[in-house]
C-alpha cells in the first residue's frame, strides 16, 4: 500500500525542477512512510541520479512512497524496473493469490528477485501484456507503468475502485504531456502553469458530498474511473481511455470463496487487525477469521454518551471470538484536528463518518499496519434502506412530471421535495436518496450557474431490473467514490492498509450468480447468517442498523462555530464568484437559529472552505 506520482512531458514542455519533485514526494509520504524513491530522466532521455530526489531538472519522472507490507526489503521498493531498465512500475495496492501465476511464469523461465506482488505485475506485463495481466489481478490496485520500448505510459485502476488515481493528459500546447498521482495534492506541484478550481466539480461536491469520477476539483485534471485503464502514447501525444471487461457472474460456493478471500487478506509481513463495528458485515469477517485462524486485534470507534455508539455490541462480538479488543473514543472536540482531517481527505469530502474513521485509523496504526473491514456488504446484498424506499417509485422509469421544477429554497420539504424528485427521471432521482445539497439548495447557493445537472453520477446502460440498476449505480459511484475513497484516504493518512474481503472480485462473481430470492431478502443480507454462529446471527438480524454517525451537531455548535464567521465571503472569493456570500451566510444562520436538518450541509460548506483555502496555497492557483 503506497502512494505514487509522475510525469512524462513533451519536448516543448518545461522541465520540472528538484523543488517540484520534492514537493510531490512530500505529499505522498503519509501514504508510504517506509521508503521514498524517484526515478527520473532528463530531456535527452537519460537517467538522472539522486536519492531520493534528483539534483537537476527532469523531463520524465516516477515517484513512489512505500508502506511495506509484503517483502519489506529494499529490493521490493519502487519505482521498480525490469532487467534492462526499459519498463518501470509504480503501484499502490495489494493483489492476492498471484503466486500460482508467478509459478507458471517461473516455469517458463522468468526469474523473480523478490516476494512482492509489485514484481509479479511487472513480470506478468512483460510476459502477457497489459490486458491479460489486468484480467489476472485479484485485489486492489492503481498503477502507472512506463514502457520505453513502446514509448507509452499505462494507467490502471481496479474494478471496485479501492485505490485512487488522478491524471492530467494534455495532447497539445506548451505543457503537453501526462501528469499523474495518487492524490490531487501530489499532482499539483507538477503543474507549471496556472490552474483553477472547476465550477462543475464544486457543484458536484454540493450534490454528492464528494467529487465523483471523472471530475476532480481542478479543471483539466481527471480521476480514472474504477475498472478502467488508459494509454498515453508519448510519441504521438495521444491519450485513450479503456474500460475493463465487466466481472462475469459465475456460480460457486460463495461461503467457501468468502473464507478464501478472508484468508488471502491475512497474508502480510506486518501486524494485522480488524475494524469491528456492531453490525453484520464486520461480524461476518470476525466469524470467518475465528473459524480458520487465530483471532486478531480488533478496533472500534466509540461515541461515549451517544445513542449511535456501537462499542458495547462490538465488544460482545470480539469477546465471543476471543479477539483482543480496543475501543477508541472519538474526541468530543475536533477543533484542533479539523484542518489535518480535511487535508488528509485530499479534495473536499464531507461524510461525517470520515472523522471517527480518521481517529480510529490514527490509533490502530500504532499497533498494526493492516486492517480488515466489512466494506461492501450493503452493495453486494442490497442492504441499504434507500433501495427499498426508491423501488416504490420504480414504475416511473423515464417519466418526468412536466410541471415540476427546482424552486429556490434552503430546505425544501414535503411537496417541494417531491417536486424536485419528479423533475428527474427515476434513475437520476436515486441520487437524492443519499445526497448533499438538493438541486434547489444548489441553485440557492450558486445563483450565477446557468444550469444545474440533476446528478453527476455515471449512469449504467439500461436494460437492467430496477434493483439491479440501483446496485449498478452504486457500484460505479457511491462505492468507489464515497465509501472506498473515505476508507483509503483516512487510513492511508496514517500509513495503514485497509483490506475489504467482501469486495473480492471472485466473491462478487459468485454472489452475482445467486438467484435473486437468495441474494435479496427481507431482512436484507439474511444470506450472511450462514457465515455466523446461529445465536449471533439472531442477535444481529434482530437489531436495528445504526450506521457510523458521530455527534455532528455538538461539533458544529461548539468546535466549528467560529469557522462560520465570514464563511460566505471566503467561499465566494475562492470559488471565483460561483457561491453567493449572502446565501451561504443565510444557510449557516438558519442552522444556528435552530434548523438542525441543515447540519450536514453546514459541515459540507465548512469542509469546502478549509479544503479550498489549503489547496489555493499551492503554486499556480488562480481565481
- 519-530 pLDDT tens trace: 999 999 999 999
At 348, is the pLDDT very low, low, confident or very high (cuts 50, 70, 90)? very high
Coil, helix or strand at residue 26: helix
Residue 197 burial (CB count, 10 A): 22
In a domain, 51, yes or no: yes
C-alpha cell at 452: 444545474
Q: How confident is the model at residue 308 (pLDDT cuts 50, 70, 90)?
A: confident
Q: Do 185 and 170 belong to one domain?
A: yes
311 pLDDT higher than 80:
yes
Mean pLDDT of 597-603: 95
Domain count, the chain: 4
Model confidence at 1: pLDDT above 80:
no
pLDDT tier at 402, thresholds 50, 70, 90 = low
| Predicted local confidence at residue 408, as pLDDT | 59
Does 532 map to a domain? yes
Is the pLDDT assigned to residue 592 strictly greater than 90? Answer: yes
DSSP letters of 561-603? GGGGTTHHHHHHHHTTTSS-HHHHHHHHHHHHTT-GGGHHHHH
Q: Which of 90, 29, 31, 27 is nearest to 61 (CA)?
A: 90
- In tens, the pLDDT along 268-281 reads 999 999 999 989 99
Domain that holds residue 112: 2-243
What pTM did the predictor assign? 0.95
Q: Is the pLDDT of residue 536 over 70?
A: yes
Residue of higher predicted confidence among 405 and 49: 49
Share of the chain above pLDDT 90, in %: 84
CA torsion angle 130 134 135 136 (round to 10) = 110
Position 421 scores a pLDDT of 85
Tell how far CA 232 is from the center of its chain. 24
pLDDT tier, 397 (very low <50, low <70, confident <90, very high otherwise):
confident
Domain end: 215, 243, 271, which one? 243
Residues 344 and 456 in one domain: no
Task: Give the sign of the dihedral formed by CA 599, CA 604, CA 605, CA 610.
Answer: positive
Q: State yes or no: pLDDT of 443 exceeds 60.
A: yes
Residues 376 and 395 in one domain: no
pLDDT attached to residue 546: 60
Q: Which residues contact 206 (CB under 8 A, 6 or more apart)?
A: 436, 437, 441, 442, 445, 446, 604
Q: 269 with 310, same domain? A: yes
Q: Please indicate, yes or no, if residue 621 is contained in any of the structural domains.
A: no
Per-residue model confidence (pLDDT) at position 566: 97
Q: What is the mean pLDDT of residues 356-362?
A: 97
Q: Do 66 and 165 fall into the same domain?
A: yes
On whether both 375 and 520 belong to a single domain, the answer is: yes
Q: What is the pLDDT of residue 403?
A: 57
Here the CATH number for the domain that contains residue 52 is: 3.60.20.10
C-alpha 40: how far from its chain's center? 28
pLDDT at 404: 57
Confidence tier at 405 by pLDDT (50, 70, 90): low
C-alpha dist (Å) from residue 479 to 159, 280, 455, 526, 581 = 11, 18, 16, 21, 33
Residue 545 confidence (pLDDT) above 70: no
Same domain, 350 and 494: yes
User: Quick one: pLDDT at residue 475?
Assistant: 96
Over residues 46-72, the pLDDT tens digits come to: 899 888 999 899 999 999 999 999 999
Same-domain status, 301 and 353: yes
The percent of residues in the chain predicted with pLDDT above 70, rounded, is 97
Q: How many CB atoms within 10 Å of residue 459?
A: 16
Strands ordered across the beta sheet of 152-157: 80-81, 87-95, 139-147, 152-157, 228-233, 238-243
Tens of pLDDT, residue by residue over 177-226, are 999 999 999 999 999 989 999 999 999 999 999 999 999 999 999 999 99
In a domain, 30, yes or no: yes
In a domain, 321, yes or no: yes
Residue reference for cell 511495506: 68
CA–CA dist 116, 129 (Å, integer): 19
Residues 270 and 364 reside in one and the same domain = yes
64 DSSP β-pair partners: 4, 37
| pLDDT above 90 for 506 | yes
Q: Quick one: pLDDT band at residue 623, thresholds 50, 70, 90?
A: confident
- Indicate whether 596 belongs to any domain: yes
Average pLDDT, the chain: 93
Q: Is residue 520 part of a domain?
A: yes
What's the pLDDT tens digit per position in 465-492?
999 999 999 999 999 999 999 999 999 9
Query: Residue 299: which pLDDT band, with cuts at 50, 70 and 90?
Result: very high
Report the candidate in 325, 433, 453, 320 with the shortest Cα–Cα distance to residue 385. 433
Burial of 242 (0-12, 13-18, 19+ CB in 10 A): middle
Beta strands in 128-271, from DSSP E residues, in sequence order: 139-147, 152-157, 166-170, 177-181, 222-223, 228-233, 238-243
**CB neighbours of 488 closer than 8 A, spacing ≥ 6?**
162, 163, 164, 498
Residue 606 has pLDDT above 90, yes or no: yes
pLDDT exceeds 60 at position 415: no
Shared domain for 203 and 268, answered yes or no, is no
Asked if 96 and 264 count as a contact pair (C-beta separation under 8 A), the reply is yes
375 shares its domain with 498: yes
Q: Does residue 380 surpass a pLDDT of 80?
A: yes
pLDDT band per the 50, 70, 90 thresholds, residue 173:
confident
* 445 belongs to a structural domain: no
Residues 163, 78, single domain; the answer is yes
> At 548, is the pLDDT very low, low, confident or very high (cuts 50, 70, 90)?
low
Amino acid at each position: 500500500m503506497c502512494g505514487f506520482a509522475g510525469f512524462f512531458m513533451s519536448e516543448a514542455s518545461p522541465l520540472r525542477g528538484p523543488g517540484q519533485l520534492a514537493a510531490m514526494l512530500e505529499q505522498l509520504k503519509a501514504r508510504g512512510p517506509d521508503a521514498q524513491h524517484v526515478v527520473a530522466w532528463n530531456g535527452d532521455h537519460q537517467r538522472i541520479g539522486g536519492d531520493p530526489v534528483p539534483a537537476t531538472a527532469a523531463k520524465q519522472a516516477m515517484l513512489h512512497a512505500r508502506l511495506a507490507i509484503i517483502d519489506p526489503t529494499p529490493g521490493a521498493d519502487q519505482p521498480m524496473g525490469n532487467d534492462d531498465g526499459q519498463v518501470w512500475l509504480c503501484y499502490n495496492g495489494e493483489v492476492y493469490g498471484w503466486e500460482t501465476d508467478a509459478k507458471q511464469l517461473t516455469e517458463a523461465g522468468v526469474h523473480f528477485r523478490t516476494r512482492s506482488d509489485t514484481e509479479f505485475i511487472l513480470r506478468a506485463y512483460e510476459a502477457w501484456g497489459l490486458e491479460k495481466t489486468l484480467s489476472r489481478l485479484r485485489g486492489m490496485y492503481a498503477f502507472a507503468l512506463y514502457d520505453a520500448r513502446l514509448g507509452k505510459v499505462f494507467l490502471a485502476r481496479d474494478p471496485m475502485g479501492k485505490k485512487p488515481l488522478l491524471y492530467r493528459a494534455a495532447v497539445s500546447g506548451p505543457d503537453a504531456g501526462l501528469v499523474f498521482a495518487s492524490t490531487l495534492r501530489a499532482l499539483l506541484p507538477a503543474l507549471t502553469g496556472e490552474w483553477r478550481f472547476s465550477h462543475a466539480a464544486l457543484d458536484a461536491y454540493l450534490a454528492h458530498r464528494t467529487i465523483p469520477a471523472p471530475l476532480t476539483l481542478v479543471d483539466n485534471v481527471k480521476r480514472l474511473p474504477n475498472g478502467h485503464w488508459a494509454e498515453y502514447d508519448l510519441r504521438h501525444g495521444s491519450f485513450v481511455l479503456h474500460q475493463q471487461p465487466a466481472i462475469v457472474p459465475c456460480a460457486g460456493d460463495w461461503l467457501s470463496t468468502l473464507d478464501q478471500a478472508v484468508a488471502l487478506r491475512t497474508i502480510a509481513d506486518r501486524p494485522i487487525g480488524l475494524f469491528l463495528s456492531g453490525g453484520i458485515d464486520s461480524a461476518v469477517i470476525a466469524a470467518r477469521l475465528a473459524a480458520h485462524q487465530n483471532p486478531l486485534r480488533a478496533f472500534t470507534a466509540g461515541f461515549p454518551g451517544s445513542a449511535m455508539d456501537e462499542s458495547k455490541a462490538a465488544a460482545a462480538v470480539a469477546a465471543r471470538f476471543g479477539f483482543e479488543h480496543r475501543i477508541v473514543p472519538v474526541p468530543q472536540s475536533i477543533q484542533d484536528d479539523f484542518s489535518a482531517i480535511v487535508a488528509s481527505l485530499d479534495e473536499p469530502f464531507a461524510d461525517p463518518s470520515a472523522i471517527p474513521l480518521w481517529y480510529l485509523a490514527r490509533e490502530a496504526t500504532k499497533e498494526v499496519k493492516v486492517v480488515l473491514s466489512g466494506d461492501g456488504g450493503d452493495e453486494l446484498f442490497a442492504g441499504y434502506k434507500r433501495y427499498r424506499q426508491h423501488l416504490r417509485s420504480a414504475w416511473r422509469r423515464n417519466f418526468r412530471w412536466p410541471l415540476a421544477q427546482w424552486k429556490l429554497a434552503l430546505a425544501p420539504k414535503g411537496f417541494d421535495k417531491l417536486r424536485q424528485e419528479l423533475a428527474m427521471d427515476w434513475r437520476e432521482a436515486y441520487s437524492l436518496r443519499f445526497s448533499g445539497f438538493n438541486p434547489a439548495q444548489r441553485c440557492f447557493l450558486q445563483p450565477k450557474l446557468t444550469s444545474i445537472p440533476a446528478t453527476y453520477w455515471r449512469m449504467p446502460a439500461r436494460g437492467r431490473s430496477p434493483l439491479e440498476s440501483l446496485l449498478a449505480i452504486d457500484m460505479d459511484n457511491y462505492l468507489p467514490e464515497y465509501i472506498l475513497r473515505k476508507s483509503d484516504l483516512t487510513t492511508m493518512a496514517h500509513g495503514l492498509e485497509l483490506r475489504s474481503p467482501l469486495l473480492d472480485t471472485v466473491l462478487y462473481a459468485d454472489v452475482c450468480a445467486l438467484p435473486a430470492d437468495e441474494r435479496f431478502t427481507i431482512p436484507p443480507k439474511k444470506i450472511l447468517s450462514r457465515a455466523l454462529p446461529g445465536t449471533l446471527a439472531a442477535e444481529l438480524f434482530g437489531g436495528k442498523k445504526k450506521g457510523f454517525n458521530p455527534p455532528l451537531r455538538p461539533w458544529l455548535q461548539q468546535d466549528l462555530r467560529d469557522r462560520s464567521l465570514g464563511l460566505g465571503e471566503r467561499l465566494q472569493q475562492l470559488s471565483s464568484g460561483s457561491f453567493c456570500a449572502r446565501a451561504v451566510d443565510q444557510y449557516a444562520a438558519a442552522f444556528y437559529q435552530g434548523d438542525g436538518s441543515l447540519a450536514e450541509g453546514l459541515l459540507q460548506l465548512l469542509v469546502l472552505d478549509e479544503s479550498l483555502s489549503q489547496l489555493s496555497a499551492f503554486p499556480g492557483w488562480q481565481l
